[in-house]
Structure 1
Amino acid sequence: MLLFLYGYGDNGEPNPLEDQGVSRWAVTKIWSSSKGGADDKMARQNTSRSLEEAQGTPSGFNMTRELIRLNPGIFSALPREFLPNYKNPCWFEKVNETDVGSQLRDRLVDNGTGHFRLRCLPYFYIIGMPKCGTTDLYYRITEHPDVVGGPKEPHWWAKNRRHLLGDGSPSTIWCNNRWRKQQWDTPNNEPPILVADLLRAVQPHAKFILTLRNPTERLYSEYLFFSGGFRDKKSVTDFHERATLAIDIFQSCLKNNTVRSCTYDPNLPPTRTVRLRLGLYEVYLRDWLSVFPRDQILVQRLEDHSKDPHTTMTRVFKFLDLGPITNQSDKDAIFMSNAKRSQKKRYDSIGQMLPKTRRMLNKFYRPYNQRLAELLNDTDYLWLEKSSV
C-alpha cells in the first residue's frame, strides 16, 4: 500500500484545498444518492456538524466553529468521508472537462460520468524544528518504498495557503503569525488559536514528528545557514552581539508579558538570522500536547539521529506503521546515507561560537530545557552532554 504525500491538481501540479472552480462534493454525488445543490449544502452542514461536535467546549466557545468561519475554503473542500484502504485521508474529486489537459488526463480516473482526480491530505507531518535535521529526516522517510514524496516545505498551514503536499515544514509547530491578521485580540496578548487547532479540526488522527537539538547549537547553525543579506560579514563576534541583543529584547518583553506571549509575539523587534525564541521548545510542544494526544507526536533528538540513524529511522517507521524494508539499496539510502545540508563547510570557514556566547545561551535556555525534560520525562533533553552534531 503506497503512502501518498500529495495529490495532483490542475495541469498535473499539486493543488491547494481551496475552491478553484472544481466540484468539491463530486464524490458524494457520484458514489451516493445525493443530487443537486441542496445535497451539496447538506454535505457541507454535515461535515461542519461532525467537526463542531469533535471540539465543543463546556464554556460554550466552539473552536472548530470559529475555525470554519475563518477558513471556509478549507472546510468546504473536505468530503463527508474518505476512501477506505488508504493511510492518507483521500477522496476522488470531479474535474471540469474544460480543465482536463493532455498532461493531466493520464492522471485522472474516468468512470463514464466524468474525470476524477485523487486528492490526499498528508498522512504525517514533520513539524519542526528548523536546523534540527528535518530535511535529512524527510528525505530518508521518502526513500521508504511505501512512501510517495514531494517537495519538503510548502509551509502551507503556517504561512502559504497555496499548494498542499507531503509536509515537512519546520514552521508548522511555531509559526502562528497568520492568526494575528484574523483573531489575536486577547488581554494577555497570547494567541487564542494555533495551527495545531486547525490541523486537529481537519485531521484529528494525523501523525506528527518533532525533531529537536540543543537550542544553543540550533541557533548558531541557523545563523550560519541563513544569509540575511550579509553572509560575507558573519563572524563569531557578530553572532555574539546579535544573540545578546535577542536575549535583551526577550527579557524586556517578559517584564510585562507571559513567556507564552513573548514566545509567539510577532511584533517583537526582529534580530536578523538569530531567532532565539525557536529554541523554547517546551512552550510550543506543551501547546500541541494540549490539542493532540501524546501518542500522535513522536519527539526525538538530532544528536541521537546523527549518532545512530538506523535506530531513529526504525522508530520513525514503526510510529508511521510502515512495512519492512527488504531492498538493500533502499536500506542504504535510509540508514547509511550522509546527512542533507551539513553545515561543516560554514563551521570551518567561520569557526565555533565563542565560549562566552555558549555560556550565555546555555544559561538562557537552561530553565526551558528543564521544563521540556520534565514534560517528556527524559533528562536527555537537558542537553548536558557536549554536542557532536
Structure 2
Amino acid sequence: MPVLNEQPRTHQSFGKALLFCACLLTLIFLYGYGHGRWKPLEDRAVSWWAVAGTSSPLKGVMDNKRVLVRHDTSWSDENTQATSAVGFNMTSELRRLNPRIFSALPKAFLSDYKNPCWFEKAKETGLDPQGRARVSFRLRCLPYFYIIGMQKCGTTDLYYRITQHPDVVRACAKEPKFWTTYGHRQLGKYLDCFGDAASIIRKRIRKQLTSSGQEAANHYVITGEANPTTIFYNDNWRGKLWDTPNNEPPILLADLIRAVQPDAKFILTLRNPTEMLYSDYLYWKGIHVNRSNTDFHARTTLTIRIFRQCLKNHSVRSCAYEVETDLPSSGTVRLRRGLYEVYLRDWLSVFPREQILVQRLEDHSKDPNKTMTRVLNFLDLGQY
C-alpha cells in the first residue's frame, strides 16, 4: 500500500518564532501534551453530572429549576461530589430539542450493513397493476467514522489516506459541517452529501457464512467525514441552553451525536500545541498580512494575558469554551484550540474509550505505516 509510505506535509521548522514563544511552554504543561499528567490512552473518571440549585441550563426543562452541571475535575485538587439528576434522560431531552433530526432517523440501522444506513421513503412513482401507489425507497447513510480534530494536525492527510482504502468511500466533502458551523440543521442536505457513498455501499456485497452455516450477504463498505472543529465546537448550544453559574457547558455536541449514533467511531489527531498554534497563525495569510516572528510573539503574549485574566474568575474548562474572540483580526491567536485535555475529557465522559482513537501527528510523521495500521485496525478494515 504505497500511500502509507508517503510522508505527510507538516511544517518542520519555525525559526526564531519558537524562541519568542518560550512562554508557551508553561501552557504545554497545563495541556499535559506528552507529559505524565495527561494520559489520553488511559481510561479514567472524567466529567461528572451533578445537581445544583440554580436556573436551568435546559431552559424550561425542569419545573423545579434544579439543573445539571458538568463538573470540571481536571484542574482542581478539590474532591468534587456529584450525584445523578433523578428523572433526567439526556437522550430523551435531546430528542425533544431536535425533533427534525430524530424524526428522520430509523429506530435501528440495517443489520447487514457495516455502515449505519437505512431505507427512506423517497417518492410515489405512479400506480402498480392493482391500482396501488408505487413507492420508491432510497438508501440513507450516516458516517461510520468521524475525524473530530484538531486543526493543523494533519486531518486532511489522514482523511485522504483512510479513503484510499478500497472499502472506504468519500463523502461529497471532507467537512460537511452539519454538526458544527451549520448548527445541525437541514439533515437532508447532510445525508445527500453521503448519497453517492450510499449507492456504492448498497452495491458492494460480500457473502459470508453465519455461525449456523448459512450464507448471508454483508454490505461491508463504509464512509466518514473529517471536521477538525467537531471536538470543541459547542456554539450552537450557547444562549439557548447554557445558563449556569460557572459558565461551563452542561450539554455538548458529543451528547447529541451519541443520541444519534451511540456506536460511532471517532479519531482525534494532535500535535505539539505550540507548533499547532504557529501553523494556525501562518494559515491566516489573508488577515496576517504582515506576518513575522515579532507579530506572532506579540499576538501570543496578548492572548496568554487575556487567558490568564479569565482564569482569575473561571475554571480552565469555562475559559476553554468561552466565546472565541481570539480571531486573527482581534490581534490575538487561537490559543484555546490547543487545550486538548479539556475537550478530550468531555468526549470521554460521553463515549467509551474504545470508540475514540487518539494519536499524535509527530508519531505519524515518523512512522506513517505504523499509525495507519492502527487506524485501519480501529475501523475494522483489513490491510491493502
- Which stretches of structure 1, 4 residues or more, deviate above 3 A after TM superposition? 267-273
Match of 1:130 in 2: 151
**If each structure's strand is expressed as a fraction of its own residues, which one has the higher value?**
2
Q: Which range moves more in the overlay, 65-74 or 216-225? A: 65-74
Residue in structure 1 matched with residue 378 of structure 2 by the alignment:
319
Give the Cα–Cα distance (whole angstroms) in 2 for the partners of residues 276 and 269 of structure 1.
7
Paired residue for 1:78?
A: 105
* RMSD over aligned Cα atoms: 1.7
SS, match of residue 314 in structure 2: coil
Q: Deviations over 1:32-90 (max 9, x none)?
A: xxxxxxxxxxxxxxxxxxxxxxxxx5522221122112211111111112112212110
> Deviation per CA, 1:86-133, whole angstroms, max 9, x where unpaired?
1211001111248xxxxxxxxxxxxx9322111011000000000000
1:191-245 C-alpha deviation (Å, 9 max, x unpaired): 1111110011111111000000000000000111123x43431111111111111
After TM superposition, give the deviation of residue 159 of structure 1 in Å: 1.9
If the length of structure 1 is used for normalisation, what is the TM-score? Answer: 0.63
TM-score, reference length from structure 2: 0.64
CA change 1:185–1:58 in 2 (3 A) is: closer
Cα distance in structure 2, aligned partners of 1:201 and 1:124: 15
Greater share of helix: 1
SS at match of 2:146: strand
Aligned to 2:79: none
Q: Is 1:154 the equivalent of 2:212?
A: no
SS at 1:118's partner residue? strand
Quick one: structure 1 residues 191 and 142, their matched pair in 2 at CA, closer, same or farther if it must change by over 3 Å?
same
Higher relative contact order at CA 8 Å, sep ≥6: structure 1 or structure 2? Answer: 2
Q: Which runs of 5+ in 1 are unaligned?
A: 1-56, 99-111, 326-389
CA contact under 8 A between 2:115 and 2:142: conserved in structure 1?
A: yes
**CA-to-aligned-CA distance 1:263-322 (integer Å, 9 cap, x gap):** 001165645472100101000000000111111100000001111111111000000001
Native 8 Å contact 1:68 1:75 kept in 2: yes
In the alignment, which of 338, 341, 344 is matched to residue 282 of structure 1?
A: 341
Q: Which amino acid aligns with 1:313?
A: M
- Provide the C-alpha distance between the structure 2 equivalents of 1:199 and 1:241, rounded to a whole number of angstroms: 39
| Map of 2:7 onto structure 1 | none
Q: In the alignment, residue 147 of structure 2 is paired with which amino acid?
A: I
> What SS is found at the alignment partner of 1:82?
coil
Matched residue, 2:89: 62
Cα distance 1:192–1:58, how it changes in 2: closer, same or farther (>3 A)? closer
Q: Which amino acid aligns with 2:229?
A: S
Name the structure 2 match of 1:121. 142
Contact 1:196 1:291 in 2 (8 A): yes
Distance 1:66 1:58 in 2: 13
SS of 1:177 mapped into structure 2: coil
SS in 2 for 1:114: strand
Q: Residue type matched to 2:290 in 1?
A: K
**Is contact 1:88–1:123 with CA below 8 Å preserved after alignment?**
yes
CA distance in 1, matches of 2:308, 2:118: 49
Q: Equivalent residues in 2 for 1:322-341 (5 A)? A: 322-325=381-384
Q: Which region of structure 1 is more displaced relative to structure 2, 77-86 or 251-260?
A: 77-86
Q: 1:91 aligns with which of 118, 124, 134?
A: 118
For these two proteins, the number of residue pairs brought into alignment is 255
What stretches of structure 2 of length at least 5 have no aligned partner? 1-83, 126-132, 194-223
Aligned to 2:235: 177
Conserved in 1, the CA contact under 8 Å of 2:147 and 2:226? yes
